[in-house]
Structure 1
Amino acid sequence: MVLHSDTGSAHWQWRSSKWFVLATVAVALFIEIFLYGFLVPMLPYMLEERLHLGPDQTQRFTSISLALHGLVSIFGGPLIGHFADKAPNHKIPFLIALLGCIIGTVMVACATSVGVFFGGRVLQGISGSGAWIVGQATATNAVDPEQIGTTMGILMVFVNAGMITGPMVSGFILEAAGYWFTWSVPVVLLLIDAAARLLIVENPERPSTKASTETDETESLLPSQERGREGLSAPSSNFWRIMLSNSRVMTALLIGIWGPTVGTSFNATLPLHVHDIFGWGPSRVGLMFFLLAVPGLLFSPLAGYLRDCIGSRKPASIALGLQAVFLALLGFAGNNHFDWAGSGSRGPALYILSIVTMGILRPFVSGVGPVELASVVKAEEAKNPGIFGPRGGYSRVFSLLEVAVTAGMTIGPVISGALVERFDYYRMTWTLSESFPLSSTPMVLVDLLRRYIHHHGYLSLYLPKR
C-alpha cells in the first residue's frame, strides 16, 4: 500500500509540476501559431485546385480566410474567457479547445467546398482563442507573481518559433512531397498536444495518498487566496466594469491593439515595397520576415526578466519610442528624396537595420499585456479575496487581450494597405510611427501620477505599486 501510494504520488508530481504545465502551454501556443502560418503558403493551391475558384478570386478569398480567424476571435474571446473561469478547472476548456482545433483542421484539409473550408476556419479561430486565453491563465496560475514576466517571455519564444517555422515547413513540404503528406505534420503535432493536455494535472486535482492526512494534503494544494476566499467576499458580477475602468488594463489593451496592427502591416506591404524599391524577390522577402521574427527567440526571456525586476513601464515606453523611430526609418530607406537614405547601398542597409531593430524591440512591447493584466487581477483579488469567483478572473481578463490582439491583426493590413494605396509607403510608416508614442503616453502619465501621489501622500493606497 505504501509503495502504491508513493508511486501514485510520484506519478502525480511530474504531471502537476510547474515545468510540465508550462511545457504543455508552450506546445499549445506553438501549435496554434504554427497552424495559422502553416496554411498561408497552401492557400493558393487549396483555393484553386481543391475549391475550384478562379485565379482572380484567390487574393480576395485569401484575405477573407485570414481575416475570418481574427474576427471569430474578437467576438468569441470574451465568451470563452467567461466560461473558462466558470469551469471547475482549466483542463476541461483546454481539451475542448484542442478538440475544436482537430475538427477544424480536418475540415480545412479535406474541404472541397467553400462552406466546409470556412466552417473549418471558424473552428480553428475559436479553438485558437481558447488555447491562448486558457493557456495564459493556466501558466499564470502555475507560477509565482514575481515570475509572470519571465514566464511569458519564455512562452513568447515558442510563439515566435511557431511563427517562423509554420510557413517555412508547409511551403517546403508541399513542393517536395505533395498535399496530403504536408498535412501529416500538423497531425503529428496535434497528437503530441493531445497527449500533453490529457496528462496535465492542475493543483485542485491532486489525489490524496493517505486517509489520515487527507485534510492537510487538500489544504496544502490550494493557493492561499483560494483557501481564504470562502466567506470573505462574494463573486463580483462587475468584472468587466472593474477591468475596463482600470487605467493599467486600458493601456495594456491599447498596446495590445497597436503592436499587432503594425506587425501585420508588414505582411500586407513589405513584399511589394521591397520588390518595387530594391528589386528583391521572394527569397529576400522571406529573409526580411526571418530577421523580423528571429530576435524574439533571443530577447523574449530577457524582456520578461526585466519586467519582473523593474516593471513593465520603463522597458515598454523606451521600446515603443525607439520603434517609432525605426518604423519611420523604414519609410526613409530607399526614398530618393533623401540622399542619406536612398542612394546606392544605403537604402537596403538602412532597411535591413531597421527591420532587425524592430524585431529586437518587439519582445519588450508584446509581453506587456499578460503581465499588466495578471497584476491587476492579483491586486483586485488581494484587496477583495474571491471577488472574481473561485477560479479567479484570469481567463476573462486574458480574453480582453485576445480581443485586442486579434483586432490589431485584423485592422493592420487594412490600414497599412489603404495608406500605401492612397499615399505611399513613406507616409504609411510615418503615420503608423506616430501611433507608438500615443500608445506609450498613458503608461508614462500613470507612472508620473503615481510618483506625484506617493510623494505627497495622497490616496497612495488606492494605486497598485507595480
Structure 2
Amino acid sequence: MSVLSRAPLQNEWIPREDSMVAAARWQWRSARWFILTTVAIALFIEMFLYGFLVPMLPYMLEERMHQDPKQTQRLTSVSLALHGLVSVFGGPLMGHLADKAPNRQIPFLVALVGCIIGTFMVACAVDVGVFFGGRVLQGISGSGAWIIGFATAADTVKPERIGTTMGIIMACASAGMITGPMISGLILETFGYWFTWSVPVAILVVDVVARLLMVENPESASTKASSDAHETDPLVDSAACRERSPEGSTMSAANFWRMMLSNSRVMTALLIGIWGSTLMTSFNATLPLHVLDIFGWGPSRVGMMFFLLAMPGVPISPLAGYLRDRIGTRTPAFIALGMQGVFLVLLGFAGNKQFEWASASGRGQALYILCCVVFGTLRPFVSGIGPVELTAVVKAEEARNPGIFGPRGGLSRVFSLVEVAATSGMTLGPIVAGALTERFGYYQMCWTFSVISIIMALLARIFLGSKSTPEKDRPRQESAE
C-alpha cells in the first residue's frame, strides 16, 4: 500500500514517491559542483569586466568624452585605480554584513545588481563624472563578488582541498582576465563600440540565472559550529551561547581583527596579495601606451599581450593550488617572486634603444612577449596565497576555540581582508606605475618593481606556511598567545 501526499499546487493526491523525485530533481541547485560553478562564473565576470575596459579606454576618453589626449595616461590610471580604491573601504563592511546575513545568496545578488547598473553607466557615459560613477559601482559590486564567492567556496569544500579549489576558481578568474581585453580589442576594431558591449551584457545574463538558481549549501559554518558545541561539555556550550549574544558578537569582531592583523603569517600573505595585484594592474596602466610608443602596436596587439599575461594562469592555477595543498605556500611563493624580480629587469630592457642587444632586429618585441608569458606563468603561484593562508589560520583558531568568531565563523571577514589587499594593489598599481613611468621612464619603473618583488620573496621565505612546519610551530604560537 503506497503512501499518498497532497501536491502543493493541485487538488489531487499523488504518490509520495513522485513528490520525492520532484524534490530530488532540484537538489542540484545546492550541489557542491553547482555552487562552485556559480562562484567561478561570478569571478570570471568580475575580471572580464575589469580587463574588458582596458583596450577601450583611449577611445572612450578621447572620442566619446572628448578629453585631451595628453590626459589619457593620467585618466586611465585614475579609472583603473578607482575600481580598487572603493573596494578597499567597502570590503571590510561587506565582509562583516555577509557574516551577519542569514545566507550569502542575498548579498551575492545585491552585488550583481550593482555590477549591472555600473556596467550600463560606463558603457553609456559621455561625461567623465558618469563614467567614474559607474566605475565606483563596479568596484563595490566586484568586491562583494570576491568576498562572498570565496567565503561560499571555502564553506563548501573540505580544508585539505581548499588550495586546489581556490586554484580552479582563480583559473576561471584568469580566463576572464584573458578574454576581457582580447575580445574588446578585437571586436572594437572590427564591429564598433556598441556591438562590443553586447558581449558583457550576454555574460551578465548567464550570471543572473546562475545566482538566482543557486541554493547555499546547508552545511554552513553555523551548522558545523552548532554540532561541535553539542559534542562538548556545558562550559563550551555556554560559551557558544555568549558568542550569539550582542555582547559576544562585539567581542568576536574585536578578537578577529586583533588576531588577524597581529599575525605575521597573515600580514605577509596580505602584503604579497597587495604586491601581486599591484604588479598585474600596472600593466593595465602602462602596457597599452608603452607598446604603442616603442613598437607601434594597436588595440588588437595590446589585447594579445593581455592574453599572454593571463592565459598561462588557466591551466597552471589548479596545479599551483594542488601544490599549496601538498607542500604549503612558502617555497612556491619564494621561487615565483624571485623570478618575477629577474624578469621585471628584462622587461625594462625590452625595446630600450640604450641597449642594442635588447632592441635590434625585433629582439625587443620577442623579449617583451617572453616576459609577458613568464609573468602569466608565475602569477598563479603568487595570487592564490592570501585565501589559502588566511583560511588556514582562521580554521585552525576555530578548531582550538570553537565559536570564537561567531556562529557563522569568520570566513567572509577573512576574504574581506584578502579583497582589501587585492584592491589596494589595484589602486596602487596603475597610480604608482603610471607616475614612475611618467616621471622617470618605463625602464626605471621596472627596476623599482624588481626590488619590491625580491623583498616580497624574502618575506615569503621567512613567514609563510609550509606543510612540514605547522605542527612544530603550533606550540610556540599557542604559548605566545
**What is the CA-CA distance between 1:372 and the residue it aligns to?**
0.7
Of 181, 196, 201, 1:182 maps to 196
Q: Is the 8 A contact 1:89 1:391 kept in 2?
A: no
Indicate conservation of the 8 Å contact 1:204/1:222, yes or no.
no
Q: What 5-or-longer segments of structure 2 have no aligned partner?
A: 6-15, 230-236, 244-248
Q: Percent identity?
A: 67
The offset of 1:455, in angstroms, is 6.8
Match of 2:232 in 1: none
1:163-182 matches, cutoff 5 A: 163-182=177-196
1:120 maps to which residue? Answer: 134
- Report the counterpart of residue 227 of structure 1 in structure 2: 227
Q: How far apart are 1:134 and its partner, in Å?
A: 0.4
Aligned counterparts of 1:273 and 1:49: Cα–Cα separation in 2: 20
Q: Which amino acid aligns with 2:285?
A: A
Asked whether 1:377 is paired with 2:391, we answer no
Report the aligned-residue RMSD.
3.0
The residue aligned with 1:98 is 112
2:275 to 258, 271, 275: 258
Q: Structure 1 residue 70: deviation in Å?
A: 1.3
* TM-score, normalised via structure 1 length: 0.87
Listed as ranges, the matches of 1:278-297 within 5 Å are 278=295, 280=297, 282-297=299-314
TM-aligned CA deviation for residue 120 of structure 1: 2.3
Out of 360-369 and 278-287, give the one that drifted further: 278-287
Deviations 1:68-124 (A, max 9, x none): 211111111111111111101111110111111122223333445444333222211
CA distance in 2, matches of 1:321, 1:311: 17
CA–CA separation in structure 2 for the residues paired with 1:261 and 1:299: 21
User: Where does the alignment leave 5 or more consecutive residues of structure 1 unmatched?
Assistant: 207-220
Range moving further from structure 2, 391-400 or 180-189: 180-189
Which sits farther off after the overlay, 377-386 or 55-64? 55-64
- Indicate yes or no: 2:161 matched with 1:147: yes
Distance, in Å, in 2 between the alignment partners of 1:426 and 1:43 is: 24
- In structure 2, what is the Cα distance between the partners aligned to 1:427 and 1:48? 28
**How many angstroms apart in 2 are the aligned matches of 1:272 and 1:247?**
38
The correspondence of residues 307-346 of structure 1 with structure 2, limited to 5 A, is 307-335=324-352, 341-346=358-363
More off after superposition, 262-271 vs 11-20: 262-271
The separation in 2 between residues aligned to 1:443 and 1:246, in whole angstroms, is 14
Q: Which secondary structure does the structure 1 equivalent of 2:218 belong to? A: helix
**In structure 2, how many angstroms separate the alpha carbons of the residues matched to 1:116 and 1:259?**
30
The answer to which of 333-342 and 110-119 deviates more is 333-342
Matched, 1:248 2:265: yes
Separation in structure 2 between the aligned mates of residue 53 and residue 35 of structure 1, nearest angstrom: 23
Q: Which residue of 1 aligns with 2:215?
A: 201
The residue aligned with 1:421 is 438
Structure-2 residue corresponding to 1:211? none
Check the 8 A contact 2:286/2:433 in 1, yes or no: yes
Describe the shift of the 1:41–1:452 C-alpha distance in structure 2 as closer, same or farther (beyond 3 A): closer
Query: Size of the alignment, in residue pairs?
Result: 450
Amino acid corresponding to residue 304 of structure 2 in structure 1: L
Does residue 365 of the first structure (1) align with residue 382 of the second (2)? Answer: yes
Among candidates 79, 82, 93, match of residue 65 of structure 1: 79
What do residues 319-365 of structure 1 show as CA deviations (whole Å, max 9, x unaligned)? 11111111122223345665654554544433333222221111111
Per-residue CA deviation, residues 366-416 of structure 1 (Å, 9 max, x unaligned), is: 111111111111111111111111221111111111111111121112222
Match of 2:36 in 1: 22
CA contact (8 A) 2:178 2:307 kept: yes
Structure 1 residues 325 and 47: CA distance shift in structure 2, 3 A = closer
Structure 1 SS opposite 2:309: helix
Deviation at 1:26, TM superposition (A): 0.6
Instruction: Measure the CA separation in 1 of the matches of 2:434 and 2:182.
Output: 24
Give the TM-score, by structure 2 length. Answer: 0.84
**What code does the residue aligned with 1:165 have?**
T
Q: Indicate the residue corresponding to 1:430 in structure 2.
A: 447
Which amino acid in the other structure matches residue 170 of structure 2? M
